[in-house]
Amino acid sequence: MQVFIIGATGGVGSHLRKRLVQAGHQVKGSCRRDAQADELRADGVTPVNLDLMTTSSEKLAEAMRGCDTVVFTAGAAGAGIELTDGIDGRGCKFAAEAARLAGIKRFLLVSAFPEAGRAKKISPTFEHYMQVKKQADVMLAATALEWVILRPGTLVNEPGTGKVRIGLAIPYGTVPREDVAAVLHSLVEQPEVKRVILELTTGEQPVNDAVGEIKRYSGQ
């Protein structure tokens, strides 16, 4: 398949791009700096220089054209309200509209687990971030795209285990970024899973088995 990753240089995107290329897929990845473009090329990814803060749906659509799937795993990573609005909010909306304009049906969005941080004192910035993520979910779910919204628990940098728990509603927990990438990889290769919101944490089930079982939730 041909996959367009928005956020290909991020924590999850870095793992995902390598997995997809190793599996034989053709991958395009967004980046903002020349050094990042060099990193993408080194991994066999075609770099696309764009900034979600300044791009448009039309520019994104031109870059995406010819791809089969869009994966949106970009995020402001707590860098402030302006960047959260521009990347997690407007950027996601631009990307969904770009996919439509480019004739791409499948769109995978990395969102946020609803209970994230709820056991701690919540800052206004984090509360705003969660609101923007939910608004992006609502926006995408209202489109005619064949979307999947993936809500991982708190992301950690520990090595992936290859075993996860996925469901419509599951207990809150953590999950390695590497395992989130593995789930996205599996979703790319199992397009029957669509129009479903999934929660994800570390678990006991192999990734491909866990994703395969989700087909019953999406009417397959």
Report the catalytic residues: 129
- DSSP secondary structure string for all residues of 71-84: EE----TTS-HHHI
Tell me how many degrees the CA angle 185-187-190 measures, rounded to the nearest 5: 115
Q: Are 66 and 49 in contact (CB under 8 A)?
A: no
Alpha helices in the chain (DSSP H): 11-22, 34-42, 57-64, 81-83, 92-101, 124-141, 177-189, 207-213
Task: Write out the two tokens for 71.
Answer: 């994966």
